[in-house]
Structure 1
Amino acid sequence: MELRQLKVFLEVAKHKSMTRAAESMHISQPALSKSIMALEEELGMKLIIRTNKTSDVTDAGKVVLEYAQKMNALLDEMNSTLNDMTNLNRGEVNIGLPPIIGGLFFPKIMAKFHRAYPNVQLNITEYGGARVVKSVEEGEFELGVAVMPIDEQEFHVYPIVEEEMKLLVNAEHRLAGRHVVDLKDLKDEEFIFYHEEFALNKIMRNHFIEAGFEPKILFKSSQWDLMTEMVAANLGVTILPASICNRAASPDIKMISLKQDIMWSLAVITKKNRYLSNAGRTFLEFILKASL
């Protein structure tokens, strides 16, 4: 078994497609298929179910995937340790950011960091908050930005932002004249909501359940600008962090406070008992010193 074969398998599992995995690794699809088949033959088990449209992982493949991720994380850790010896003359940091967060606070920080450390590459991947947490745990990212609460037994947690959640409604909506709205008053509303992989999905659903109802979800999105545009078009209502609501200011939208004290708290997280590269530590300090 070769590490190259495991990396190929990881890419196929990630993309669920032989074609996209081959493109990602810049190799031919026949070469990629040959590598997967050699790995399956050596292990004596089918790892990938191939169809015309997708390549899904079998139960045996899920076991191999778990160990391959651990081995890949260890290799990344080794490379990070070696890169530390260059005193940031080169290096890279793998970071996970939810799409709803990245555009708000991080471009200026990343620009300043790049000017200070031009040879350190920042690899940004956008995932939903829940997936960011899982990916930091599995070693895909050194650093992740996620919505609190976070399991502090598993992660080092560094709070960076806290702000109120606000209700957005169309200017012609029945609640548009209100300054404060109780969640109970939203029982019959149709919501523009967040995808399941976003931490806000679970957080807000729990608040609605506490208020005595399940939200009626008209549409799910990972893009706050699309969510606010749908409110402006009077297709439904949404609840978003105050900073996003302020960016969505429009004559067609009304921002309203919630009676319930619902906070949006962000933190940078790192996995406990995992080596954090010098570049990763430096970028973390950069974030914590910045005024977000």
Structure 2
Amino acid sequence: MNMKQLRYVLVLAHEGSFSRAADSLGITQPSLSQYIKKIEKKQGVQLFDRTGGNVRVTDAGYVYIEAARKILDLEQQMERKFEDLSKYKSGSIVVGVSPHRCIHLMPEIVKRFQKLYPGMRLVIEERGGASLLDDAAHGQFDLCIANLPVDEKIFNFQLIMEEEVLLAVNMETPIYQKLKKTAVNIHGRKYPAVDYKKIAGERFATLAESQPTQKSLDEICAIAGFRVVNAVECRTIETQFAMVRAGIGAALVPSGTSKFSNAEKVAFFSFAQSVPYRDMAVVYRKKQYLSKAVKDLMQIIVSLDK
């Protein structure tokens, strides 16, 4: 059992298809198929059920995968310790992050990190939704940037910032003029605040129901006693924000967007009532070895809002 074998089996299990796994590994499908057959023959068990055109992990396969993840994790921890000993002349750190935060946060993080460790490489793995924390739990990243809460039986975390959920509107639309007249300044708030009811009847660029900011919008509408008028539903915050810039609709966005996005022609408002928040944190597995470089990277990330 070598590291190559372990990785091939894990990739095939993750992709659920020989063709997709072969593409991911950069080899041909027949080569991968023969390689898996050799592993199964050597182990004397069938790791994958190939019937029905799909690839399904067998009970024996799950045993192999669990062991493979532990072995690869030990290898990764050993490499991190060797990097400490070599004083970071080379090596890499893998960071998991959502596509939205990757665009807005990672350029500054990479720039600061490279000043400290010019010989090291940051590998950015973009994930969306639950797959980010799922892959983090399986040791795919050294660190990840995610929303709280997380499973504290599995993860440790350090808070990066408390993100206020803001209302974003195009400054050339009637809603901006209406909100501007009624907005008030509240101590401790960066942006002028408006009443929930002032957005009743306005058209919104929304996200999927499972997204945190969309849940906040639904809660606000429920409290104020109206239903959101959906102008367009978007898959990403980037697309949603582009719709605001184009004047198609208003949107609720995390405050980090206002800091790192191209906000030309866009005004932001807070809410006069209870303010929706979400916590952003740098997350890593419990009992995970953290090299000095990883610890320094964590400090760079948590100091972003300072």
TM-score (norm 1): 0.79
Residues 1:226 and 2:227 are matched in the alignment? no
Secondary structure, counterpart of 1:89 in structure 2: coil
Q: CA deviation at 1:8?
A: 0.5
Change (3 A) 1:169 1:48: farther
> Which of 264, 268, 277 is the equivalent residue of 1:263?
277
**CA separation in 2, counterparts of 1:86 and 1:275?**
16
Secondary structure, counterpart of 2:275 in structure 1: coil
Residues 1:204 and 2:216 are matched in the alignment? yes
Paired residue type of 1:272: K
**CA separation in 1, counterparts of 2:32 and 2:218?**
44
Q: CA deviation at 1:43?
A: 5.0
Q: CA deviation at 1:193?
A: 0.7
Is the Cα–Cα contact under 8 Å of residues 217 and 252 in structure 2 kept in the other structure? Answer: no
Residues 1:243 and 2:232 are matched in the alignment? no
Aligned to 2:292: 278
**CA separation in 2, counterparts of 1:56 and 1:173?**
55
Larger CA Rg, structure 1 vs 2: 2
Aligned to 1:58: 57
| 1:241-284 Cα deviation digits (max 9, x unpaired) | 12314635344x55332333112321111211121233312322
Aligned to 1:168: 168
Q: CA deviation at 1:123?
A: 1.0
**CA separation in 2, counterparts of 1:181 and 1:93?**
45
What is the root-mean-square deviation in Å for CA atoms of aligned residues?
3.5
Q: CA deviation at 1:99?
A: 1.6
**CA separation in 1, counterparts of 2:286 and 2:8?**
28
Secondary structure, counterpart of 2:92 in structure 1: strand
Is the Cα–Cα contact under 8 Å of residues 93 and 122 in structure 1 kept in the other structure? Answer: yes
Aligned to 2:189: none
Q: CA deviation at 1:140?
A: 1.0
**CA separation in 2, counterparts of 1:58 and 1:216?**
44
Q: CA deviation at 1:44?
A: 2.9
Paired residue type of 1:58: V
Aligned to 1:24: 24
**CA separation in 1, counterparts of 2:148 and 2:304?**
19
Segments of structure 1 that go 5 or more residues without pairing to the other structure are none
Residues 1:44 and 2:45 are matched in the alignment? yes
Change (3 A) 1:90 1:250: closer
**CA separation in 2, counterparts of 1:100 and 1:57?**
32
The correspondence of residues 105-116 of structure 1 with structure 2, limited to 5 A, is 105-116=105-116
**CA separation in 2, counterparts of 1:89 and 1:195?**
46
Aligned to 1:287: 301
| 1:172-225 Cα deviation digits (max 9, x unpaired) | 4668623424289669965521585x6x26863884697489978752413x32
Paired residue type of 2:263: A
Paired residue type of 2:281: A
How many residue pairs were aligned? 286
Secondary structure, counterpart of 2:70 in structure 1: helix
Is the Cα–Cα contact under 8 Å of residues 80 and 291 in structure 2 kept in the other structure? Answer: yes
Segments of structure 2 that go 5 or more residues without pairing to the other structure are 184-193
Q: CA deviation at 1:290?
A: 5.1
Change (3 A) 1:38 1:147: same
Change (3 A) 1:50 1:186: farther
Secondary structure, counterpart of 2:178 in structure 1: coil
